[in-house]
Amino acid sequence: MRALRLKAWKSDPVLEEVPVPSPGPGEVLVQVGAAGACHSDLHLMREFDEGLLPWAPPFTLGHENAGWVHTLGEGVTGLEPGQPVAVVGAWGCGTCSRCLDGLETYCERPDLAPVPGGGGGLGLDGGMAEYLLVPGARHLVPLPEGLDPVQAAPLTDAGLTPYHAVRRSAAKLVPGSTAVVIGAGGLGHLGVQVLRATTAARVVVVDPRDAARDLAVASGADHAFAPGPDTVQAIRELTGGVGADVVLDFVGSDDTLALAAASMRQVGDLTIVGIAGGTLPVSFFGLPYEVSVQTTYWGNRRELVEVLDLGARGLLRAETTLFTLDDAAEAYRQLEHGTIRGRAVVVPNDSYRA
């Protein structure tokens, strides 16, 4: 089968022939219907060095995956060949206290996990291929009626990550509150939809791109601003001078973190989702009183079930640009150049049945 593989840090991925995996006991082979191209993959290709992560190339890219059960390993129950499924991306040990709580993103026994702190497309072979080997049935979620793999694949990360971040601050997103979304790209435009579908907050978006702001408004944002010297003042005027209750920074640069901090309300939440490498100075007088600053990583299986339900009901839908597996490298080039509207999704040539 063909697979788009990252062969080394700081290199472009290569499409090559690899053997079709055979599932062992407890494993499931999935025929890939779609795999999302994530901006975080660009960090793997351009920035990361040997030793930064507890895993390394070579591996097949693609950590946003959905498709159909193809072959079941010995002992697997509850799934049937041909069944449409989404893949839970983080693969923990399954036995530590965090994993038993469903938080495999925060597995505390990486020595027992298939790959420490990663999963398919992050240290192990992912879904930019015709087939994907999944190490356990618990990492698969049956798709609800009305949602196909192409629609579901980007929701496994680009939908799940903002959903998890919004859930952390749900108690503060009440009627009369304001949420600011910084960056309305692949994750941000879905973050706007999550806020609209699950909270009563006013939603304000900040993004320098005209097309991204238009997409944000189409996704349900109440206001969309370009970043500039008057942006913080505009946010404060919208909030009666008090600032935003929750800021979700889907970029994470020095500039966006400074904007987030300046826009905060006292007792608010500033959540850093993007990994652009910025830093935020924190001191007693550097932020409004009792502002909580937090990072977040992906989401869990239970939340993915909820995200897929929102998708099936038409409340959460990724704006997508489709690419064949032959053109998967081009998807990443366009993503790097900022020309993708929403999310890039790779569809293996012979797998899309919708």
Which tens digit of pLDDT belongs to each residue from 94-108? Answer: 999 999 998 999 999
Across residues 160-188, what is the average pLDDT?
97
How far apart CA 301 and CA 139 sit, in angstroms, is: 8
Q: Which of 9, 113, 4, 105 is nearest to 56 (CA)?
A: 9
Average of per-residue pLDDT across 203-221: 97
- Would you state the pLDDT for residue 349? 65
**Is the CB of residue 244 less than 8 Å from the CB of residue 271?**
no
Type and span of the H or E element at 269: strand 264-272
- Mean pLDDT to the nearest integer, 234-241: 97
pLDDT at 354 over 50: no
CB 124 within 8 A of CB 6: no
Q: Is the pLDDT of residue 93 over 80?
A: yes
- Model confidence at 313: pLDDT above 60: yes
Q: Residue 117: pLDDT band by 50, 70, 90 thresholds? A: confident
CA separation for the pair 314, 317 (Å, rounded): 7
Q: What percent of the chain has pLDDT over 90?
A: 93
Query: Per CATH, which fold does 2-157+299-347 belong to?
Result: Quinone Oxidoreductase; Chain A, domain 1 (3.90.180)
Residue 243 has pLDDT above 90, yes or no: yes
The architecture of the domain spanning 160-295 is 3-Layer(aba) Sandwich (3.40)
Distance CA 221, CA 224 (A): 7
Q: Which residues of 85-118 are buried (b: 16+ CB within 10 A; e: fewer)?
A: bbbbbbbbbbebebbeeebbbbbeebeebbbbbb
pLDDT digits (tens, 9 = 90+) for 119-132: 999 999 999 999 99
pTM of the entire predicted model: 0.95
Average pLDDT over residues 275-279: 93
Q: What value does the mean pLDDT take over residues 17-35? A: 97
| pLDDT of 221 over the 70 cut | yes
Please report, for the chain, the start and end positions of each structural domain, with discontinuous segments joined by +.
2-157+299-347, 160-295
Give the containing element (helix H, strand E) for 336.
helix 328-336
Asked if the model's pLDDT at residue 266 lies above 60, the reply is yes
Average pLDDT, stretch 146-168? 97
Q: Does residue 227 carry a pLDDT above 50?
A: yes
Q: What is the rounded CA–CA span in Å between residue 98 and residue 131?
A: 29
What pLDDT does residue 49 have?
A: 86
Q: What three-state secondary structure class fits 335?
A: helix
Q: Which residue has the higher pLDDT, 49 or 222?
A: 222
